[in-house]
Copies of this chain bind each other. A is one copy, B any other.
């Protein structure tokens, strides 16, 4: 059975890791948001792809919630000493991904190719696909004007009030190699509990990608990022409020309307006006068991949808 997951960074990586405990890794394909990618100090940074790599390779820092475990910070100390920009933290080990990616780009390799090479080097059988090899930039319109994603998310800690989100370059971006096949050939399609507006929408903004999902034979199940009307992490709830949306699973289902066949919500939550079949489990993913349970519940809902059991 082949499962394809649309995912952003931390929360989505947890779901994908959960899937690897249930399914053989080679049966899983993650299509990853690259709208957060940016060039910092000349280095190409792909935060969500790297989070997937670190999480699946068992190298992520579980306490800090981002980056590599056992990281050292000599680079940032020297950057500060030299008066360089210190708003974006780059760990010493983490730099290897960005520098080797820079070198790969200089050799003419694509983001897909270098991502696959990293996955191979770490013996990851899960397929990690950038949504596109073409640059797509998530841009956030706020009270402080239009901001790049990292300026909004990291430098300003999501403080400015959000008015809208757009995706620079999305008009002409092509789906990355393997992306459309992974959607068309999937037995189940999952949308991770990543931020629907900031992390999943960039993926859906790549021309052809949304249509491919709509046309795909596989049932599509989203995992709601809300628990009791709040997001586990990140600006989802604040953003929804600023967009004037009720903090409900119905808002999530409406956002994915026409795309999803089912929604997995938290065990304690109200399905409300959700127009698609719903399943429930405790969706907070703290432990590996949590991740496996959420992954299994999403697969179960998709399985029920596939067999017409809902």
Q: Which one of B74, B81, B93, B105 contacts A78 once the chains associate, using CB atoms below 8 Å?
A: B93
Residues of B within 8 A of A91 (CB): 74
Q: Mark A83-116, 1 if CB is under 8 A from B, else 0.
A: 1100000011111110110110110000000000
A25 at the interface (CB under 8 A from B): no
A77 and B93 in contact, given A99-B43, A121-B83 (Cβ under 8 angstroms): yes
Shortest beta-carbon distance from A282 to chain B in Å: 35
- Alpha-carbon distance A43/B103, docked complex (angstroms): 8
Q: Are the C-beta atoms of B118 and A93 separated by less than 8 Å?
A: no
Size band of the interface chain A makes with B = 20 to 34
Q: Are the C-beta atoms of A106 and B42 separated by less than 8 Å?
A: yes
Shortest beta-carbon distance from A69 to chain B in Å: 11
Residues of B within 8 A of A122 (CB): 81-82
Chain A interface main SS type: helix
Q: Which one of B71, B75, B97, B117 contacts A95 once the chains associate, using CB atoms below 8 Å?
A: B75
Q: Mark A68-80, 1 if CB is under 8 A from B, else 0.
A: 1001101101110
Q: Are the C-beta atoms of A41 and B93 separated by less than 8 Å?
A: no
- Alpha-carbon distance A92/B68, docked complex (angstroms): 15
**Which chain A residues in 1-42 approach chain B with CB under 8 Å?**
41-42
Residues of B within 8 A of A74 (CB): 71-72, 74, 91-93
Shortest beta-carbon distance from A145 to chain B in Å: 22
Residues of B within 8 A of A100 (CB): 41, 79, 82, 84
Smallest Cβ-Cβ distance to A57: which chain B residue:
B81
Residues of B within 8 A of A83 (CB): 117, 121
A92 and B72 in contact, given A42-B103, A99-B42, A100-B84 (Cβ under 8 angstroms): yes
Q: Are the C-beta atoms of B96 and A79 separated by less than 8 Å?
A: yes
Smallest Cβ-Cβ distance to A103: which chain B residue:
B41
Q: Among the interface residues A78, A97, A121, A122, which one has the most CB atoms of the partner chain B within 10 A?
A: A78
- Alpha-carbon distance A99/B105, docked complex (angstroms): 16
Q: Among the interface residues A75, A77, A81, A94, which one has the most CB atoms of the partner chain B within 10 A?
A: A75
Shortest beta-carbon distance from A279 to chain B in Å: 39
Q: Are the C-beta atoms of A97 and B82 separated by less than 8 Å?
A: yes
Query: Considering the complex of A and B, which 6 residue pairs feature the smallest CB-CB distances, nearest first?
Result: A78-B96, A74-B92, A92-B92, A42-B102, A74-B93, A78-B93
**Can you spell out 8 A-B residue pairs with CB atoms less than 8 angstroms apart?**
A41-B100, A42-B105, A72-B74, A74-B92, A75-B96, A82-B122, A83-B121, A99-B99
